[in-house]
Amino acid sequence: MKKFIAPLLVGAALTSAFAADDLAKEVAALKAQMAELKNAQTKMNIDALRQQVSEIKAHDAGDNIKWNVDFRTAYDIVDYKMSQGYGATGLINLADPTGGMGMFGPTSVAGSKIDNGIWTNKLILGMAAQPADNLVFKGSLGVYKTYGQTSVQSGMFQDFDWYGTQKPNDSTIRLREAYFLYFGDMGDVHYSASFGRRPSVDGFMTNLRADNADPASPVGHNINMEFDGASFKFDLDKLTGISGMYVKLCLGRGFSDTTGSYSQSITGGFNPGYISAEANGNMDLAGLLVQFYDDGQYKIMANVFKGWNMMDIGNDITMTVDAFGVGTYSMVSNGFHDVGDLTGASLSLQVNGLGDGISDFLDDSVFFISYAVSKTDPNNVATNNIIPGDANTYNNLVTLMGAANVAAMMEQFAGKGMLGSTDSETGDSVYLGFQFPGFMEGQRFGIEYNHGSEYWRSFTYGEDTLAGSKLATRGDAYEIYYTLPLVGKNLTAQLSYVYMDYDYAGSDTFFGQTGNPAGMMGVMPYVDKAYNIRASLRYRY
């Protein structure tokens, strides 16, 4: 037994010696590796590594588009009452005792009432991206459509993109906004430059009725429409010491008209690609927006602008008159014409929180008041053409009326001037509103009023009211609305009522004869009173 134990003990001792030697070598190798890691760590630039990680995070955050959703479903009751007036008869009788030559007579439209119930869905998909610290892109796409058996007018002016996403039509996706902002600092002046499709609806003050926390760029009292252009903003608060002061130069172009490549003309031939429609020209606008003061409670803002090449529709009036002064006539549109320029301005005050700690109710209330003016500068170019229907018509008219009276008639029907006048005319408007807390937390109640004079003219085609722009009203307009949250700010409901009592015609049309305060041709009926009741649900995320 002892013979076996001795060799085992010797083997175990040898094994232990070899294991210890291996362990020592492994420990030495580990120490060498640790020394190398420690040496590498001391050489590593931790700040550079952190900078690389920050750049990766910034790239991931900015290298994509952030989307948001604004969806509203609504039911609108829209009612109109037409004024008294006369419609075109298509007949001529120079012996007509009314002095209208028999061209105008009673029409079923005069004094009638038009009722509509309209269901709509309105979807706005907003997008934003910031690939660099001083560069931002923003945009939005809109769909605003009716559904069900509703009556929607699809006549003249319905397809203008001044309000492409602001008036219900079909399910076509339209561009609402698309612009970039480049900004920086020049000493104490922070500046920004922007080009593209402008964020120019639901602006200052009008954003309250639209239940939008942040107003768009323009003063909503006299500019509320979609257009393309540029803006250059300079913040002057640090330079002047006046809280919130800035100036913004705005440039816009509307009513662009071209003929695309491979387009067919009405004669069946092919037109050259993208020719300028020089007969119409471009409606250009330049304006200066000034925020005089904004400390969070009191905000004073003004704008002044000028628009060139204001447009209106013209007509070819073909007359055929026999030797007895009896005949017919027809009117066919001959396109748009530049009728002159328009200047406008406004001065507005908004107070967020009335008084200083008087009560919680007043602290959470908003009041605003605004005054605006507009002034026309007509070029007095004829937009209508009087065309004899046969070789004898002109001679028959001269024989029956006399050359001077025929010339006067031609001048009367020439369609010259702006807003029905060949003289420069000034209009004005006042707009005020009060918004205060509702019955429960988060609910808001609003009351608004505006009045426009005979020749008041605004650019408010994009206003979100189906009965027509209330701020364009030549007369009195009233609105009350109630907004309440259902699921926080994500799902809200609103009930609103807008009533417009027109003193004059032409409140929301164009700038020439269609804007005549007496009605087209001075006799045709126009909307005398209108109201719009809306119940809506709105989802935002």
Distance linking the first and last C-alpha atoms of the chain: 89
User: 56 and 71, same structural domain?
Assistant: no
pLDDT value at residue 357: 82
Q: Are 168 and 152 in contact (CB under 8 A)?
A: yes
User: 111 and 81, same structural domain?
Assistant: yes
User: 398 and 421, same structural domain?
Assistant: yes
What stretches of 229-290 show up as alpha helix (H) in DSSP?
237-240
Nearest to 471 by CA among 518, 435, 513, 428: 428
For 363-415, the pLDDT digits (tens) are: 999 999 999 999 999 999 999 999 999 999 999 999 999 999 999 989 988 99
pLDDT value at residue 456: 97
Q: Are 352 and 366 in contact (CB under 8 A)?
A: yes
User: 57 and 78, same structural domain?
Assistant: no
Phi, psi of 387 (to 5 degrees): -120, 120
What's the predicted TM-score (pTM) here? 0.83
Is residue 13, in this structure, part of any structural domain at all?
Answer: no
E strands present in 390-540: 426-437, 444-452, 475-487, 491-502, 527-540
pLDDT value at residue 519: 86
Is residue 5, in this structure, part of any structural domain at all?
Answer: no
DSSP state at residue 422: S
Nearest to 161 by CA among 253, 277, 231, 75: 253
Question: Amino acid letter at 97?
Answer: P
User: How many separate domains does the chain show?
Assistant: 2
User: 491 and 452, same structural domain?
Assistant: yes
What is the residue range of 212's domain? 64-263+270-540
The Cα–Cα gap between 493 and 481 comes to 11
Q: Would you list the DSSP string of 290-330?
A: EEEEESSSEEEEEEEEEEEEEEEEEEEEEEEE-TTSEEEEE
User: 296 and 150, same structural domain?
Assistant: yes
Q: Are 94 and 321 in contact (CB under 8 A)?
A: yes
User: 29 and 154, same structural domain?
Assistant: no
**Of 35, 63, 91, which residue sits at a domain end?**
63
Phi, psi of 240 (to 5 degrees): -100, -20
pLDDT value at residue 501: 96
User: 159 and 54, same structural domain?
Assistant: no
Q: 156-161 long-range contacts, Cβ below 8 Å, gap at least 24? A: 156/313, 156/333, 157/509, 157/510, 160/255, 160/461, 161/226
Tokens encoding 503? 């003193």
User: 26 and 116, same structural domain?
Assistant: no
Phi, psi of 69 (to 5 degrees): -120, 135
The Cα–Cα gap between 194 and 134 comes to 12
Which residues 6+ apart lie within 8 Å of 470 measured at CB? 450, 463, 477, 479, 498, 500
pLDDT value at residue 12: 47
User: 456 and 483, same structural domain?
Assistant: yes
pLDDT value at residue 521: 77
The CATH number assigned to the domain holding 156 equals 2.40.160.10
The Cα–Cα gap between 533 and 385 comes to 42
Alpha-carbon dihedral 320, 326, 328, 333, rounded to 10 degrees: 70
Is residue 519, in this structure, part of any structural domain at all?
Answer: yes
User: 217 and 118, same structural domain?
Assistant: yes
Q: Are 218 and 194 in contact (CB under 8 A)?
A: no
Length of the chain: 541
The Cα–Cα gap between 183 and 368 comes to 30
User: 286 and 364, same structural domain?
Assistant: yes
Please list the residues that pair with 219 across neighbouring strands. Answer: 204
Q: What number of CA atoms fall less than 13 Å from residue 95's CA on the CB side?
A: 6
Q: What is the mean pLDDT of each run of 10 residues along the chain (541 residues)?
A: 48 50 71 70 61 60 83 94 87 84 82 84 95 95 82 52 74 91 96 94 94 91 92 97 97 68 54 59 89 96 95 92 93 90 98 89 95 97 93 93 92 92 97 96 96 96 90 97 96 98 90 90 86 97 95
For 80-108, the pLDDT digits (tens) are: 898 888 888 899 998 888 777 888 888 87
